[in-house]
Amino acid sequence: MIGWQDVYKVVVAMAPLYVALILGYGSVRWWKIFTRDQCDAVNRFVCFFTLPLFTFEFTANADPFKWNFLFIGADAISKFIIVVVLAIWAKCSSKGSYRWSITSFSLCTLTNSLVVGVPLLKAMYGQNAVDLVVQSSIVQAIIWLTLLLFVLEFRRTGINFSADESIKSSQVQSAVESGKDLEGSTEIVASTGPSFWYLMRTVWLKLAMNPNSYACIVGITWAFIANRWHIKMPSILEGSILIMSKAGTGTAMFSMGIFMALQVLEILN
């Protein structure tokens, strides 16, 4: 049975996160401390510095030789089931669409579990739950994010290709209807869609520009090396990482509050 002490532990772990979120929201929505350009600067600071180093800290300290592969497999199966259900909904329902299926999959499965999940599950279940969150976050960043980017890029290029084809078709139709060259022959060049390798190149370029991808890949690489040969990170390097990574959770929630406030202001304006 869950007691009041357990509830108190969860509140203690979660309250600071929402304090940072409310401060970020209020600094834009109520107190007008930050302009839009300054909000962009804060978001870029979080994106390129605190959050990648926060991710690296957790990833580098994970032991890949002690991973719970049953948990990772169960997580993959659950994501596959969600994909199947959303695909059936998009195909069979009159209100379904592949665009909303992609969005729903992202919201359901690709959450920022390191920022919120670590303090919550640590308060509820202890360090073992934190290890599971870190493992799922690493797999998410390396595998699932890559697949999602591929699907989004495929959809984007598919839409652009369809638009180009519509423009070409209308141009050909206008040329035929004008009748300026009745004796001439109209040559229609068949176009082909974007190739698989083009899509993959675009996805890898986007991943290469994502600092979180670098942090996760470098972190898991260091984790393999450190745990395989029992190498300890130099204290000066570890301290340099910690001084920024400790701000990762707070600044990420603060940035989320800024984003929410900007969305509200756009709606009101």
Q: How does pLDDT run across 213-267, given as a tens digit for each residue? A: 889 999 999 999 999 999 999 999 999 999 999 999 999 999 999 999 999 988 8
Q: What is the chain's mean pLDDT, rounded?
A: 83
Q: What is the pLDDT of residues 134-183, one digit of tens each?
A: 998 888 888 888 788 788 777 776 655 455 555 555 554 554 454 544 44
Would 152 be classed as within a structural domain?
yes
Q: What's the CA gap between 190 and 41, in Å, rounded?
A: 46
175 within a domain of the structure (yes/no) = no
Mean local confidence (pLDDT), 54-80:
92
- For residue 42, what pLDDT band results from cuts at 50, 70 and 90? very high
Domain count, the chain: 1
| CA-to-CA separations, 38 to 42, 46, 69, 209, in angstroms, rounded | 6, 13, 43, 22
Higher pLDDT, 171 or 99: 99
- Compute the distance between CA of residue 97 and CA of residue 103 in angstroms, rounded to an integer: 10
Residue 88 lies in a domain: yes
Is position 68 within any domain? yes
- Say if residue 86's pLDDT is above 80: yes
Predicted pLDDT of residue 225:
95
**Would 178 be classed as within a structural domain?**
no
Residue 174 lies in a domain: no
> With pLDDT > 90 as the criterion, what percentage of the chain qualifies?
43
Q: Considering the domain boundaries, does residue 250 fall inside one?
A: yes
The lowest-confidence range among 39-43, 113-117, 181-185 is 181-185
Answer whether residue 8 is part of any domain: yes
39 pLDDT above the threshold of 70 = yes
Parent domain of 136: 4-168+192-268
